[in-house]
Amino acid sequence: MSSSRSLAVPFVLVALLSLLPLAGGAQDATPSSGELPAGVEVVASGLTNPRGFTWDADGNLYLALAGSGGPDQIAVEGTPLPFFVGPTSSIARVEDGCAVPLAGGIGSLLWTEPGWIWGAMDLAMLDGQLYALLGAGMPDGPNGIYRVNADGSIELAADLAAWLGENPPEFVPFDYDPTGSWFDLEAGSDRLWVSEAVGGRLLSVTPDGEITQIADLSVGHMVPTGIALAPDGGAYVNHETVVPFPDGAATVIHVALDGTVTDAWTGLTAGTDLVMGPDDVLYAAEMATGNDDEPPYLQPGTGRIVRQTGPDSLEPVVTGIDYPVYLGFDSDGALYLTYPAFGPDAGEGQGALLRLDVSGDLPISLAGLGELAPSCGGEASAPAPVADTGATASVTIADFAFAPPELVVAAGETVTWVNQDWAPHTATAGDGGFDSGRLDQDGSFSHTFTEPGTYAYACAFHPGMTGSIVVE
């Protein structure tokens, strides 16, 4: 399906267009994966555009996946570059290296060059309720903050797009989207905090949906991104800046509850996220450093995590990262990191969530790590074998659906999935018992089911695609 409509490009990456080194060049020549450095653990890999994450009171880890766009093309006025949209974004619970779908069918918007994706952007837990910041809305809902329920249903908590329409920023940049380029979501003691990057806003939102502007940060077009709540009740805010992303041009500001803005940390570069560490020190993600004054500007493999050592000084903590995007600390004081912010081929299967012990020798270098193999793949430990009956059954993947969605087979029967779609898909069990890996058009995968039961599965690229195998 193809349609044409006016769509404001919702992120400062519009200034890059074809200038980033993502569709070819160095990013295509990804080195083979090396051994993990000391203190680094892969929590999940083989992810598609991982974004923000959070934990509940029981320590369960939830992750936003921005998706890979979709089959519907949008022609954007003023640019020859296509955008693709579809309900491929999701929210997952991370278990044993697998991103187990919790809520799917969330809107995803792919800008084909440089490959940036908007979808589920960040998560936060407030009073036991999981909230999601959606940057491409729902198929029938706006950009905003949504409540995510235990059964996977989601419901609008705050219509941020409508609020922006009624409250334009003081300065409207050329790349402004009136529905918002939402970036970070944080939970305070009684309300949520959210940043809007291109329009330059810092807002607070109560659980009943009351939206309050803390500060208009639009003047200067510094592109506010990550938020770290301050002990005094205000917040620290990181900035990405715009091309050519010069070294030292980004600043972390402190925003008081009355909207007063002061510099808190200068000398940063291309900031994405910001977090207060367990040592009460600010940690910031720098998307890329040593950037050029001319295209392609951003340099792959130069991203860093740094921590503040003074008002205008820093210490590298992690180096050699491909475009880090979100940060967080767990209850044990370990640093978590998602990357890359974007990549070729819609970023499918290229993302990872890492856990790093930053209490030892620093900095930790990830240079040369390469693209990690999927952490949720292969066969699970098999129970006692059941004789193969020789019988086979098949599931067809077409039009972004599994057909039939539920297939009944006998124990010992083999099921084969065949992808007849133009887009790549997977057949990935929710319990990790089987995973086809990426299936391109006409690709197939077979698995023999030996034990009776119901086996739910989904497409890892498009979690809204689900199916089940019932073994009798």
Q: Locate tokens 């792919």: which residue?
A: 110
Q: Residue 405 burial by CB count (10 A; 0-12/13-18/19+): exposed, middle or buried?
A: exposed
**Phi, psi for 448 (deg, rounded to 5):** -95, 125
Q: What is the mean pLDDT of the chain?
A: 87
Residue 66 near residue 119 (C-beta atoms within 8 A): yes
Euclidean distance between CA atoms 427 and 421, whole angstroms: 13
Q: Which residue has the higher pLDDT, 319 or 83?
A: 319
Which one is predicted more confidently, 274 or 399? Answer: 274
Asked if residues 87 and 139 have their Cβ atoms less than 8 Å apart, the reply is yes
The per-residue pLDDT for 46 is 95
Interatomic CA distance for residues 226 and 305, integer angstroms: 13
SS percent in the chain: helix, strand, coil, step 5 = 5, 45, 50
| Reported pTM | 0.76
- Confidence check: pLDDT of 391 > 50: yes
Helix (H, G, I), strand (E, B) or coil at 83: strand
CA distances from 465 to 192, 434, 461 (A): 31, 16, 9
Lowest-pLDDT range, 14-23, 120-129, 437-446? 14-23
Hey, what are 58's tokens?
């029981």
Q: Where are the CATH 2.120.10.30 domain residues in the chain?
A: 21-365
Q: Sorting pLDDT into bands at 50, 70 and 90, what band is 113? A: low
Residues 278-300, mean pLDDT to the nearest whole number: 92
Asked if residues 169 and 219 have their Cβ atoms less than 8 Å apart, the reply is: no
Query: Distances in Å between the alpha carbon of 388 and those of 150, 164, 382, 447, 453?
Result: 38, 60, 14, 11, 17
Of all residues in the chain, the percent with pLDDT exceeding 70 is: 87
Q: Which phi and psi (to 5°) does residue 202 adopt? A: -120, 120
**pLDDT higher at 388 or 375:** 375
- Which of the two residues, 18 and 112, has the higher pLDDT score? 112
Residue 114 scores a pLDDT above 90:
no
* pLDDT at position 295: 79
Is residue 369 a contact partner of residue 445, using CB atoms and an 8 Å limit? no
* For residues 446-462, average pLDDT: 91
pLDDT band for position 330 (cuts 50, 70, 90):
very high
- Give 80's pLDDT tier (boundaries 50, 70, 90): low
pLDDT tens column, 124-179: 999 999 999 999 888 789 999 999 999 999 999 999 999 999 999 999 998 788 89
User: Is domain 392-471 classified as CATH 2.60.40.420?
Assistant: yes
Q: Quick one: DSSP state of residue 30?
A: P
Q: Would you say residue 291 has pLDDT above 80? A: yes
**How many whole angstroms separate alpha carbon 122 and alpha carbon 182?**
9
Answer with the residue of higher pLDDT: 201 or 377: 201
Q: What is the pLDDT of residue 138?
A: 86
Just give the CATH number of 21-365: 2.120.10.30
Amino acid 134 reads L
Q: Is the pLDDT of residue 456 over 70?
A: yes
Count Cβ atoms below 10 Å from residue 394 Cβ, excluding itself: 14
13 with 346: CB under 8 angstroms? no
CA distance 364 to 354: 12
The H or E element that residue 455 is part of is strand 453-458
Distance CA 209, CA 191 (A): 10
Q: What sign results for the dihedral spanned by CA atoms 345, 348, 349, 354? A: positive
* Residues 214-243 pLDDT 10s: 999 999 999 999 999 999 889 999 999 998
Q: Which of 77-86, 122-131, 139-148, 325-334 has the lowest mean pLDDT?
A: 77-86
Give the residue-averaged pLDDT of 9-23. 37
> What whole-number distance in Å separates Cα of residue 376 and Cα of residue 385?
22
Q: Considering the chain, tell me which residue range(s) the CATH 2.60.40.420 domain(s) occupy.
A: 392-471
